[in-house]
Amino acid sequence: MADVSGNTLLMAVQAVNDAIALLDESIRDGSGDPVDDTEMLMSYTRAAEELRSAYEVARLTSSNLPPYADLIVTDTE
């Protein structure tokens, strides 16, 4: 695995989470292509899981990284 800083992982987690939220919204409101958006959502979801694993490993060696749950936005509205 390539060496990536914890801060870079933090930013990547947030960016992928934002992309997932936008795709989810596009699917829900029908504003995009449902097939393409669904495929992209699946790809971003897989990427998010990989980033989560890498981030959790980085947290073991860095005390200044917040918990993963603090980085992601969940739709509770």
Query: What length is written for the chain?
Result: 77
pLDDT confidence band for 77 (50 / 70 / 90): very low
* In the chain, domain spans: 6-61
**Spatial distance between the Cα atoms of 43 and 10, rounded to a whole number of angstroms:** 19
CB 75 within 8 A of CB 20: no
Specify the amino acid at residue 35.
V
- Residue-wise pLDDT for 44-70, tens only, equals 999 999 999 999 999 999 889 999 999
Specify the amino acid at residue 42.
M
**Spatial distance between the Cα atoms of 22 and 53, rounded to a whole number of angstroms:** 22
Which phi and psi (to 5°) does residue 63 adopt?
-80, -10
